[in-house]
Every structure is written in C-alpha cells, then in structure tokens.
Amino acid sequence: MLEDVVLADLTAELPSAVRLQRLVRTLREYFHCGAVGLLRLDGDALCPVAVDGLTREALGRRFVVAQHPRLAAILARRETVAFPPDSTLPDPYDGLVDNQVGEPLPVHDCMGISLHVEGSLWGALTLDALTPGTFDARAQDDLQRFTLLVEAAVRLTRLEQDLRRLRLSRSDAVEGDGESREGEIIGQSPVIRQLLDELAVVADSDLPVLLTGETGVGKELFARHLHQCSRRRRRPLIQVNCAALPESLAESELFGHVKGAFSGAGNARAGRFEAADGGTLFLDEVGELPLAIQAKLLRTLQNGEIQRLGEDTPRHVEVRVVAATNRNLHDSVRAGHFRADLYHRLSVYPVPIPPLRERGSDTLVLAGHFLELNRTRLGLRSLRLSPEAEDALCSYDWPGNVRELEHVISRAAIKALSQGACREDIVTLEPGLLDLPLAMPSAPEVAVVPSRSQPRESLHDSVTRTQRQAIRHALDSAEGNWSAAARLLDVDASNLHKLARRLGIK
C-alpha cells in the first residue's frame, strides 16, 4: 500500500531531501507514470525540490507560473487537475523528461494538484505519463487522497529546517546541549541547498559521481553524505586516498592479491573493491592515480569485475564509485596524465563543490558551528565572535576553504583561552587573534630573507630553514594531509615527500 510506504518514510530517520526524493519515487511507481515533480512556490515561480523521471536540469529551473498555463491551472484549484492527451496547453517539462533526450513530449497524460501547508499555498505536485489513459478517474481520486500525506512530508521537512535554523542561529550558545555534531554538513546558502537537493536526487541512482572543487571545500564530507543518502548506506563506504598509494602497491590495494603474488604477499588479501562490495568506494584525489592502474580501474568500471593480483579468474563486484579531485582533470587528460576514457566513466555525474568565498553568510554559520564544537571541547560556558572578528572572517578569501576556517577558529579559541581572555565564562575572540592564521602566507611569501638576528647563516642553511618552515606551515594548515599541503605549496606530492624526508620532517 502506498500509504504504508509513505508513512514508513515519514517516521524513518531520513535526511529531509532524501525523504522528499523517496516520496516522488514512490508516487511514480504507484501511478506507473514517467515523471513526478514536487515544486515549491517561490514568489512568482514554482521550483522543483524533488523530481523523479525528469532530467537534472529540471531541478535548477524556475517555472514562472504566469508563463505556464498548466501550472497556473493546478495552483488555482484545490483538487486534482487533469490534462488529457488532447489538451492544447504546453507542458512545462517539454524536453526535461528523462527518456526524452531533449525531444518534445509525445502525446501524453498529465495531472497535478496544489499543496497547502499550514493554511497557505505551498506548491504543487505534477505527474506525467507517457501512455495516454494512465490517469483515469480512479488515479485522479487517488492523487487527491495522497495529497494529505505529501503535505505532511512537506510540513515535516519544514519543521526540521526551522529547528536546524534555530539551532544554528544561536551563536550566543547557551549551556551545553552538545547539539553541534561533527561530520554534519553545515550551510544555508542557496548554492549549498541546491547542491544538497541535487545530491539527494543522484544518491539513489548508481551513477558514478565525480566531486570537484578546491582543497578543503568538503569533498570528502559530501562523498560521505552521498553514501548516507543512498540505498547503500547500510553497506560499507570504503575510502582510498589515491595520492597516498605508491604505484607498486596500488594494484593489490585496490584489487587484492593471492598468496605469493609478490615477495611479501604471505597471505591472500581482498582489495578495497571487494571490501566495498554492495556499498560505495570513494576514490579521493583520483587525479593522482598512476596511469597503469587507471587502465585496470577503467576495466572494472566497464564490466564490474576485478582480478586479484596473481589470479586468473575474475570476481564480480557490485560497487558504486564516487571520486573526488581538486585537479582540473581536463588539463590532466590533455597533459597525458589521466586517461580520457576513465575521465568520461568517472564523471558521468560531475558535482562541483563551490569554494567558501562563494557561499555568502555560510562563512559565519560555519564559524558558529566550529566555535560551538570548540566550546564543548574546551568545556566553556559560552564562546562567541566579536563583531570585528566576524568582519575579518567575512572579508577574507579563504584559499584553504572550510578546512582553513575550521583551523582558524580552533586556534583562535585556544589562544583566547590560553591568554586568559575569559571574563565571566565568556570568551570573546578579538580580531587580533585571527591575524596569524588569516595571514597564512603562500609558499613564495614564506621564503623570507634571513633576518638581522642571523647574520652569519649560510645561503644553504637559509634555504633549508625556509623550506622547513614552509613545509611545516603547509602541513599544519592542511591538517597533516600531504597532498593538500603539496597543493598549497604548488609542488608535486611525491616531490614534497622526498624533500620532507631530506629535511628530516616526519
């Protein structure tokens, strides 16, 4: 029964975007139709918040109601409005239905109904069926009946969003409620909301996803979120950092090996692909994968089979691959460092994660989140930013993105505490406290001329000291992540490793 399925989803602990996504999918299955859209009224336009059977472009659209007579007719009434195949009114989804490949919609059935939440018009639900006659009188009645459930799901989502907003707006944190959770995606800016909506849609498909974006934007966090939102969430999520895989071990790490496959292979071992069977394999920094392994990865993506090193018989694996990179893979392909065919396989669904500087007020929302985490860790009653510190955070460019912000706040909080800045249990972060990390020098700026206090330092010593400083600083900023540090210094990760070893940096 449709009611049972929807009710189960309403009471299950699901991210709200996933709940709405499952709802439209359930409706599409129940009504045996080609596409279902749940649209929220935003000013003069209807904006899809969950779709099934429509292309991803539909999600980013604003359908201005006055330009779409079908939508206007649906919004004008409180009961099901049906458009039979002979209706002359244009369908707003022309070219957006998934199997249309941009073709105009053929003769089809359509029906829709307006949705009301807390007494006011909220939006609309639309259904399109490519087989005329699908939406008979009974289907129209059913839609009317189920609308109550759809409205309940929308109301629940709204309540959750209000609660979340309330929680985040309490920058003046009250006594320890410990509600700020690590690993949670924080952000209310339109770009992040749209991103989350998009991920909710793609999560349930098995399409490979390629997350791109600068260092520290949260690619790993979003990859985890994608897995959590997918039907695979009870199965493993296995992460592989491709930059940390030495070429000699990469094959056995990914695909496993049999006993004696190479010297040192004392026992047979399953690789990461097998470990991720039924779940998700997250290939972080995929742009760093050695070319020889790229060919093998491509084969696995093509036929779903892996071959353990030293074994002849292939094994079948059922794995969804999510990859991430902060390189421009187009450039890597052009430079011959990345296979074009693998690039096309991995980027079936590319998801660019926006840099922090494009997320508007999210900088302060995130700062509030990290402050709250530090407050709990440091056992403080209250911790807040001074207005000057807020201004400084907002006017900074954040080349290291959210990771850099996280560090800035942690350092500033600890510094404030260590300097005894506590007054009646309230710590105010003064702007000066942010100066050090905010002025994070890029590599060339670190290369300072020896100071007067070291007049006899040789050129060699001076260079070594500067290199050491720059590497430590970059590693510190990148939280010990070598590839991220290499990117901050604009050097190759393996060169950085070599140089660090020579300089005695562990």
Nearer to ligand ATP, 39 or 484 (CB): 484
Element containing residue 241 per DSSP (H, E):
strand 237-241
What minimum distance in Å lies between the beta carbon of 284 and ligand ATP?
6
- The residue number with the shortest CB distance to ligand ATP is 218
Residues interacting with ligand ATP, by CB under 6 A?
185-187, 213, 215-221, 324, 326, 366, 402-403, 406, 481, 484
Nearer to ligand ATP, 61 or 375 (CB): 375
Residue 174 is encoded by which pair of tokens? Answer: 């009250």
What minimum distance in Å lies between the beta carbon of 361 and ligand ATP?
13
Separation in Å, CA 57 to CA 28, 47, 338, 413, 416:
19, 12, 28, 43, 47
Nearer to ligand ATP, 324 or 499 (CB): 324
What minimum distance in Å lies between the beta carbon of 322 and ligand ATP?
12
CB hemisphere CA count around 402 (13 angstroms): 26
Nearer to ligand ATP, 35 or 356 (CB): 356
What minimum distance in Å lies between the beta carbon of 60 and ligand ATP?
20
What minimum distance in Å lies between the beta carbon of 358 and ligand ATP?
13
What minimum distance in Å lies between the beta carbon of 86 and ligand ATP?
49
Nearer to ligand ATP, 204 or 220 (CB): 220
- Distance (Å, rounded) from C-alpha 463 to C-alpha 177? 50
- The set of residues, in sequence order, having a beta carbon less than 8 Å from that of 159 and lying 6+ positions away, is none
Are 41 and 75 in contact by the 8 Å Cβ rule? The answer is yes
Are 483 and 243 in contact by the 8 Å Cβ rule? The answer is yes
- Distance (Å, rounded) from C-alpha 374 to C-alpha 406? 10
**β-bridge partners, 429:** 385
Residue from 368, 363, 371 nearest 396 by CA: 363
Beta strands in 192-316 (DSSP E): 209-212, 237-241, 280-284, 305-306, 315-316
What minimum distance in Å lies between the beta carbon of 269 and ligand ATP?
26
In angstroms and rounded to an integer, the radius of gyration of the C-alpha atoms of the chain is 27
DSSP of 212-230, one letter per residue?
A: E-STTSSHHHHHHHHHHHS
Nearer to ligand ATP, 146 or 222 (CB): 222
Nearer to ligand ATP, 214 or 457 (CB): 214
Residue 200 is encoded by which pair of tokens? Answer: 């909710």
What minimum distance in Å lies between the beta carbon of 319 and ligand ATP?
20
What minimum distance in Å lies between the beta carbon of 241 and ligand ATP?
8
Helix (H, G, I), strand (E, B) or coil at 160: helix
- Distance (Å, rounded) from C-alpha 212 to C-alpha 147? 38
Helix ranges, 170-246 (H): 190-203, 219-229
- Distance (Å, rounded) from C-alpha 392 to C-alpha 122? 39
What minimum distance in Å lies between the beta carbon of 362 and ligand ATP?
7
What minimum distance in Å lies between the beta carbon of 186 and ligand ATP?
4
DSSP of 32-76, one letter per residue?
A: T-SEEEEEEEETTEEEEEEEESB-GGGGG--EEGGG-HHHHHHHH
Nearer to ligand ATP, 218 or 279 (CB): 218
Terminal CA-CA length for the chain? 60
Residue 198 is encoded by which pair of tokens? Answer: 């998009």
What minimum distance in Å lies between the beta carbon of 216 and ligand ATP?
5
What minimum distance in Å lies between the beta carbon of 150 and ligand ATP?
29
- Distance (Å, rounded) from C-alpha 205 to C-alpha 201? 8
Residue from 238, 233, 236, 235 nearest 203 by CA: 233
- Distance (Å, rounded) from C-alpha 331 to C-alpha 166? 44
Nearer to ligand ATP, 187 or 437 (CB): 187
Are 176 and 383 in contact by the 8 Å Cβ rule? The answer is no
Are 197 and 49 in contact by the 8 Å Cβ rule? The answer is yes
